[in-house]
Amino acid sequence: MESGSDVARLNEYAQKKKSLGLLKYEDLGSFGPDHIKTFTQRVVLNDKVYPEGVGKTKKEAKNNAAKNALRDLEEAARQPSVGTTAVENYNPTSAQQEKELNQNDSDICNQTRSLSVNSQDNSSEQNNFIGLVNHYCQKKNRCHTFIEDRRWGPAHEPQFFYRLIIDNKEYPVAKGKNAKEAKQNAARHAWFALQEQSDWDSKMSVRSTVSEGGAPPVLSTPSTPVDSHEASSQRTSTSKSNSITFEDSPNPSQAQIPLEPDNGTPTRLSNSLESITSSQSMSSGTSGSGLFTDSSNSSKDQHAVKDKNMGNTENETPTHSRFTSEFDIIDCLGRGAYGCVYAARHKLLNKCFAVKIVRSDEKALREVGTLSDLLHSNIVRYYTFWMEDSRYQGHITVGSSAGSFSSSQSIDDPSAKYLYIEMELCQTKTLKKWINEKNTQSQPDTKRRQESQTIAQQIVNGVEYIHCKGHIHRDLKPDNILFGVDGVVKIGDFGLVTKDDDDDDDDIALMERTRQRGTYTYMAPEQITGKNYDRKVDIFALGLIYFELLWKLSTGHERVVVWNDARSLKLPEQFSVTFAEENKIIRLMLREKPEDRPEACELKAELKKWAQTQHLHKERATY
Ligand SMILES: Nc1ncnc2c1ncn2[C@@H]1O[C@H](COP(=O)(O)OP(=O)(O)OP(=O)(O)O)[C@@H](O)[C@H]1O
């Protein structure tokens, strides 16, 4: 479609449907250095905000914003009568139609609220994702069905787990307080995945072909398809699907049931969650978030179990490692306390990913479990994970290019297992580097304030999403905040993530380890003292980050003094003068008592208000 045509289509639609009120485009500013700057715009129609459009120019961003709005309007309008698009076929002839369309608009609003990457994703919200998926499948001639994965919990408080399967592809398991809610949530997972169709589908199909020598990938329990109003006409047989399987089980050993492969021999996957838990003493209650198995591992990986020498020397080509056989390793992006992160190109997909390799323990399992639960534009996108018996040992020095790695003998514990976590590849520049660059610029940076605000807003959006999913990040700091290739802020490193209501022993041990590593710079006071704490620790860290984004901190002793003062709510006098509005917000975030700190959603609203005020000032200044 020709550039700009979505803007024209949306204009036409808004004109025809005058009752919708004024069609507005909001300019949300630009981000990034000049040569890779991205612009963001969004549509507001009848006071409803539609998903943001991002582009390399304002025009492109505007057109993408119009495209997103049209997509939502069309999707919503299709719900009551499949095949009709509100945009193309709008022709109100009666008050009833007008009423229906208004109803559609309210549906659209609901969907937008939920689909918008920046909005709160409340899993209990009953948006019609089932309807969206239903319609999508009809349009694309795909079969889909909901599968009840399991039920869990006491009779008075049961939890239902459902997954959606579309054309033999399984999407992540979702839970709900009842079957309907679980199905809606499963449809939501699938819907988001479908938004990224090319990625998801191709990856899924690649995974399903990994199996060699006829060895079937191990699947999870082939549950009985349940009757679904939404899916009854679309049911398909799925029990032998070769696609990836996610498990979201607080009781992993029960979740893994060996399947009868085609030859009738029961098979059990070496890296099933059961084997993970048997060797790793996984605590089922710690994260409470979705643990899942990746059934894509095949005979290749089972082979790797027997061969513990993979990847150790240049001569011994690590052919038995899924990592080295499926990926070209490009670069070592960094080493954390627990593992390494590599940039790697998937050979079949010809697409680059970040693959984090960590020893499999609670922290790592917690990280993948949580990441699999999160899908938000301001959170590093997780794709999949698998287990290997060895850690990739090609020692590439950080930042070096492919092929230059040398051999090194493994000093790993032979009984250890390693998690390979495949994620979205971000820029190598972290927020820490961004801050350092700003602080070392000799000229005053006139854009710093505006950019800081955009960054802070994006972090808050991500944190709001994490909190509304019932998690606490607990390790927010500029080092753990990355930029996507398009410049969008991405929260990463979920190694310390926990459930908001968690306070078990493993958790305390994990925090103790973190404290010992001295990363308490951004920790809330109650987190340092080891008291009971909740999601408000993330708000405290965010307050410090926002302060650091804006304020040029010197190095050495002075920095320590300013930092400690800031932690005790004594912000530099000049700061409160120069950044009066931000000062107010930050002071709320840094309050000593967690209950006095704002919730992420309140902060989001506050920052948005502040951004709009600034925007108005800027506009006035240009006239
Ligand atoms: N998805 C990604 N894309 C690009 N770079 C990444 C990605 N994930 C991590 N990195 C980089 O790899 C480095 C190591 O990341 P990792 O999360 O393991 O380390 P860390 O933050 O020190 O973790 P930990 O706190 O667990 O020690 C970081 O410096 C980070 O910049």
Q: Higher model confidence: residue 54 or residue 470?
A: 470
| Protein residue whose Cα sits closest to atom 13 of ligand 1 | 334
Ligand 1 site-directed mutation target among 329, 330, 331, 341, most atoms within 8 Å of CB: 341
How remote is the CA of residue 585 from the centroid of ligand 1, in Å?
A: 29
Residue type (1 letter), 467: H
Reported as type and span, the H/E element at residue 438 is helix 431-440
pLDDT at 151 over 60: yes
Decide: 129 and 72 in contact? Cβ < 8 Å: no
Q: Quote the pLDDT of residue 143.
A: 79
Q: Find the 493 Cα to ligand 1 centroid distance in Å.
A: 6
Q: How far is the CA of 608 from the centre of ligand 1 (A)?
A: 29
Cβ atoms within 10 Å, residue 97? 12
What pLDDT is stored for residue 78 in this prediction?
60
CA of 439 to the centre of ligand 1 (A): 22
Confidence of residue 64 (pLDDT cuts 50, 70, 90): confident
**Alpha-carbon radius of gyration of the chain:** 25
- Cα 336 to averaged position of ligand 1 atoms, centre (Å): 6
Q: Which atom of ligand 1 is nearest to the CA of 333?
A: 12
367 — pLDDT class (breaks 50, 70, 90)? confident
Angle formed at CA 189 by CA 186 and CA 195, multiple of 5 degrees = 140
Closest CA to 215 of 266, 172, 145, 165: 266
pLDDT beyond 80 at 358:
yes
What is the whole-number distance in angstroms between the Cα of residue 339 and the centre of ligand 1? 9
**399 pLDDT above the threshold of 70:** no
Of all protein residues, whose CA lies closest to atom 22 belonging to ligand 1?
336
Q: Write out the binding residues.
A: 356
Tell me which of 333, 363, 368, 430 to substitute to probe ligand 1's pocket, judged by most ligand atoms within 8 Å of the beta carbon. Answer: 333
Name the residue with the closest Cα to ligand 1, atom 15. Answer: 336
Q: Does 114 have pLDDT greater than 80?
A: no
pTM: 0.53
Q: What residue owns the CA closest to ligand 1's atom 16?
A: 336
Residue 340 Cα: closest atom of ligand 1:
18
> Hey, is 588 helix, strand or coil?
helix
What is the number of the ligand 1 atom nearest to the C-alpha of 492?
8
**According to the model, what pLDDT value does residue 363 have?**
73
User: What is the tens place of the pLDDT at every residue in 495-517?
Assistant: 777 777 655 555 555 555 455 44
Q: 180 or 113: which carries more pLDDT confidence? A: 180
Give the separation between CA 473 and CA 544, rounded to whole angstroms. Answer: 15
Residues with CB under 6 A from ligand 1: 333-334, 336-339, 341, 354, 356, 380, 423-426, 430, 479-480, 482, 492-493, 495
Instruction: Give the model's confidence band at 578: pLDDT under 50 very low, under 70 low, under 90 confident, else very high.
Output: very high
Binding-site residues for ATP sit at 356
By alpha-carbon position, which residue is closest to atom 24 of ligand 1? 336
Helix (H) or strand (E) holding 43: strand 38-45
Residue 246 has pLDDT above 60, yes or no: no
Please state the rounded mean pLDDT for residues 600-606: 95
What is the ipTM, given to two decimal places? 0.96
- The bridge status of strand 471-472 relative to strand 481-483 is unpaired
Q: In angstroms, what is the span from residue 424 Cα to ligand 1's centroid?
A: 12
pLDDT for residue 93: 33
pLDDT at 583 over 90: yes
Q: Look at residue 127 in the predicted model and tell me its pLDDT.
A: 58
Give the pLDDT band (50/70/90) at residue 458: very high
Q: Give the residue whose CA is nearest to atom 29 of ligand 1.
A: 334
pLDDT band of 195, cuts 50, 70, 90: low
CA of 452 to the centre of ligand 1 (A): 22
Mean local confidence (pLDDT), 374-399: 83
The secondary structure of 133-191 as a DSSP string is: HHHHHHHHT--EEEEEEEEES-TTS-EEEEEEEETTEE---EEESSHHHHHHHHHHHHH
Sign of the Cα pseudo-torsion (496, 498, 500, 506, in order): negative
Choose from 319-323, 328-332, 613-617 the range with maximum mean pLDDT. Answer: 328-332
Residue nearest to atom 12 of ligand 1 (CA): 334
> Which H, E and C letters describe 478-522, residue by residue?
HHHEEECCCCCEEECCCCCCEECCCCCHHHHHHHHHHHHCCCHHH
Residue 225: Cβ within 10 Å count: 18
User: Which protein residue has the closest C-alpha to ligand 1 atom 23?
Assistant: 336
Q: Nearest Cα to 387, choosing from 424, 421, 437, 350?
A: 421
pLDDT over 90 for what percent of the chain?
29
- Closest C-alpha to ligand 1, atom 18: 336
Cα of 13 from ligand 1 centre, angstroms: 45
d(CA 167, CA 170): 8
